[in-house]
Amino acid sequence: MSDYIPTKDLDRIAWLLHFGRWLTDNGGANALAHGITWAQAFECHSQAGQAASAVTEAYIVLNEARAATVNKDQAIGKAEATARAYPQKLQHDLDLTDAERAAAGITVPDTDKTSTKPDTVAELEPPLLLLDFHIRHQVSIHWGPNPANERQNAKPRGVLGCEIQYARGGVPADETGWTSLGLDTDSPLLHQVTETVPSTFYYRARYVDKKLHYGNFGDPVECTVTV
């Protein structure tokens, strides 16, 4: 059964005032006829009136607060618009020193330009590799932070692509045993295999940034390609 008293403030006040009047009308005839004393009826009616006054005061304060907020925002906006014109003028003044800029609280030009460190790409986790070799004579090499889902496999910030190297038969004992497949900028890379017998290939990869700095290789992964 739903509550007979409404939930919204104004509707609640309307109901309370109506009920209070019903109890006290005609000298409290309705109240007295049903076992409610005049004092009880008057208290109910009085409290309804107090509640109505409290709601009215609250709405007055709320409206005043809204008006004050609008006035505050307009005043700040006007002051900022006026103030912004002067820093723009000052920044074009060749006689203005950086010390004066700092004292005034306006932007001090950065004379020490920050450059990308060559070793930044080396600090990245190496790309992961996922090999798809279900088609004969080829290996699709998915690379990146999430190679299992190319829709969510964006390259890390600043990375141009990935260098992928391979070796046939086993992990080489030294660097000279690896053959580079070049720089790939869009996963996956397709490696065409020309062997005439089933062969095992090992792959490894490293990121290359936009300034052609190289990152670290990840662990090799392997697959056996059918012919």
- Overall average pLDDT of the 216-227 stretch: 89
The percentage of residues in the chain with a pLDDT greater than 90, rounded to a whole number, is 48
3-state secondary structure of 139: strand
Supply φ then ψ for residue 39, to 5 degrees. Answer: -60, -40
Residue 146 has pLDDT above 60, yes or no: yes
Beta bridge partners, 146, equal none
Summarised one tens digit per residue, pLDDT across range 169-202 is 899 988 999 999 999 999 999 999 888 888 899 9
How buried is 158 (Cβ within 10 angstroms: 0-12 exposed, 13-18 middle, 19+ buried)? middle
- Write down the mean pLDDT value for the chain: 88
pTM over 0.75: no
- In the chain, residues under CATH classification 2.60.40.10 are 121-225
User: Residue 156 has what pLDDT?
Assistant: 92
Tokens of 161: 């692509």
CB within 8 A of 102, min separation 6: which ones?
Answer: 108
d(CA 46, CA 52): 10
Residue 109 has pLDDT above 80, yes or no: no
Tokens of 31: 């109240």
Q: Which CATH number applies to 121-225?
A: 2.60.40.10
